[in-house]
Structure 1
Amino acid sequence: MSRQRSMETIEKSEYVTIGELVRLTGVRYSTLKFYTEEGMLHFEQAEENLTRRYKREESVERITYIRQMREQKITIPEIKAILKSE
């Protein structure tokens, strides 16, 4: 089992894992995994160990944006359409 990186290190990193996104945003792992599987949250695949890496700033902004739309009762299909059109 790998050791967790400190929040200070995570907040300075260009790329983070899904677990680190959970820590940064407070959004549940299962929710972020759903967003990823639905194409709403983009990642890069690290070849050496097949770990999904998310661009920290871009991902946190997108998660915040999705949460704001969900608070406005916008449905997932509508959010996907909005994100696709941007």
Structure 2
Amino acid sequence: MSRPRSMDVIENSEFITISELVLLSGMRYSTVKYYTEEGLLPFEQIDSRLVRRYPRIDALNRLNEINLLKSNGLTMWEIKGKILCK
């Protein structure tokens, strides 16, 4: 198991792990994982160990977009339709 990266390193990295995305976004791990499994969050599998790496800026922007749509009263079904039809 690798040593956790510092917040300074995370905030300046192009790609981050799901745990680091949770730290930056303040969301629950299960919520971020759910959005990933629903195809709402962009990620790449960089190595053969199947570790997902999220593009930091794009993933945080997408989480903000989802939160905005949720605050406007849209259901997850409607949010998914809006985001995936872009």
What secondary structure sits across from 2:79 in the alignment? helix
Aligned to 2:9: 9
What secondary structure sits across from 1:27 in the alignment? coil
Aligned to 1:26: 26
Residue 48 of structure 1, CA deviation: 3.4
Q: What do you get for the CA RMSD once the two structures are aligned? A: 0.9
Residue 47, structure 1, aligned to residue 47, structure 2: yes
For 1:47 and 1:7, the matched residues in 2 are separated by 23
Aligned to 1:58: 58
Unaligned runs of 5+ in 1: none
Moved more, 41-50 or 23-32: 41-50
- Equivalent residues, number: 86
Moved more, 5-14 or 46-55: 46-55
Aligned to 1:67: 67
Moved more, 15-24 or 44-53: 44-53
Q: Sequence identity, in percent?
A: 49
For 2:15 and 2:54, the matched residues in 1 are separated by 5
Letter in 2 for 1:3: R
Normalising by structure 1, report the TM-score.
0.94
